[in-house]
Amino acid sequence: MKEHVLYYYGLENIDNFVQKEAYYFTSDNKLYSLELVENIEKSSRIFNVLQKVNYTKGYRVINNIYGKVFTNISNSWYVLLLHCNENYNIIEDLLHPVNVSSLVSFDSSILWNYLWSKKVDYYEYQFQHINEVYPLICESFNYFIGLAENAISYFLYNVQSLNNLNLFLCHERISFSKYFNPLNVTIDYYARDVAEYIKFLFFSDNYKSFSFTEFFEKLNLHYNDYILLFSRLLFPSYYFDIYDCIIRKKSEESELSKVIFLVDDYYLFLQKIYQTISFYVKIPAIEWIKK
């Protein structure tokens, strides 16, 4: 891969070339990563928007010698990123979202209930063929599918007003290491990032001293936002992310234990978030959470 970087990007003095989840190297004391683009059509749309809003937080995209953002190497697409030594705060970024509604049109693929329903159908079909192979998945699968179905039902409380909601630069997942990576950027409702950040706080065990009351006051969300927010908190993306890695042989099944072990704690956490939201707006109750 090193020779491809030398050819397509004209860089010299490449050092410390290491393959991890991407290809990392240094050149002239600057850190770069050559990263695989899994969905070239989606990434092309996202990068076009990022260019229009001059998004350069944490990274700078390096064009190849042909002036193109994406490079095809051995039938796979890649993008080269320069890591910038800049400090950005996730909370501050959440409090100042970038509205891109004028740059994109509403796409039905943003409807979470549609996407989640397709995922559930796929997982249920797949489960029939793997349930005897993975005992932890077999033990936990129905519970988390039930959570997903709850999330889909809750989302429908708001489905009629989605066309009026603005779209923002959001993130596929929240993490300290990948938050500002442009390949982690997506376009969605603002509530997506808020919910994923709250999940991140929980699963990184940084939620106990966090003031959600103060957080929600700063966000200034409305009823529709809270419906989306809570539906996304219900959807167990954290479980399905690990599930997918197990099926693709990228993780051991034992990784699921971390999530399964926290089921009761997350239930209490959802109760706490629901009660906090209720101080600001009365969203529909879920009986098994409200108890």
Q: What is the CATH number of the domain that holds 179?
A: 3.90.1200
Residues 35 and 100 in one domain: no
**Domain end marker among 87, 121, 149:** 87
Q: Residue 242 and residue 256: Cα distance in Å, rounded?
A: 7
Residue 242 identity: I
Partnered with residue 35 across adjacent β-strands are: 79
Residue where a domain terminates, one of 25, 53, 87 = 87
Last residue within a domain, chosen from 29, 63, 87 = 87
Looking at the structure, tell me whether residues 15 and 133 fall in a common domain.
Answer: no
One domain for residues 136 and 169 = yes
* Cβ 90 vs Cβ 174: under 8 Å: yes
Q: Are 113 and 152 in contact (CB under 8 A)?
A: yes
Q: Tell me, what CATH number does 72's domain have?
A: 3.30.200.20
| 167 vs 109: which has the higher pLDDT | 167
Residues 113 and 55 in one domain: no
Burial of 75 (0-12, 13-18, 19+ CB in 10 A): exposed
- Would the pLDDT of 70 be above 80? yes
Quote the pLDDT of residue 106. Answer: 67
Query: Taking residues 263-274, what's their average pLDDT?
Result: 95
Residue 65 and residue 97 share a domain: no
Q: Do residues 8 and 129 both lie within one domain?
A: no
pLDDT exceeds 70 at position 108: no
| Run of H or E including 152 | helix 135-155
The pLDDT, as a whole number, for residue 159 is: 65
Q: What is the pLDDT of residue 157?
A: 87
Query: Do 147 and 284 belong together in one domain?
Result: yes
Q: What is the pLDDT of residues 125-162, one digit of tens each?
A: 999 888 788 999 999 999 999 999 999 999 988 766 77
- Domain of 149 in residue numbering reads as 91-290
Number of structural domains found in the chain: 2
Question: pLDDT at residue 15 above 90?
Answer: no
Helix (H) / strand (E) element for 187: namely strand 185-188
Same domain, 230 and 283: yes
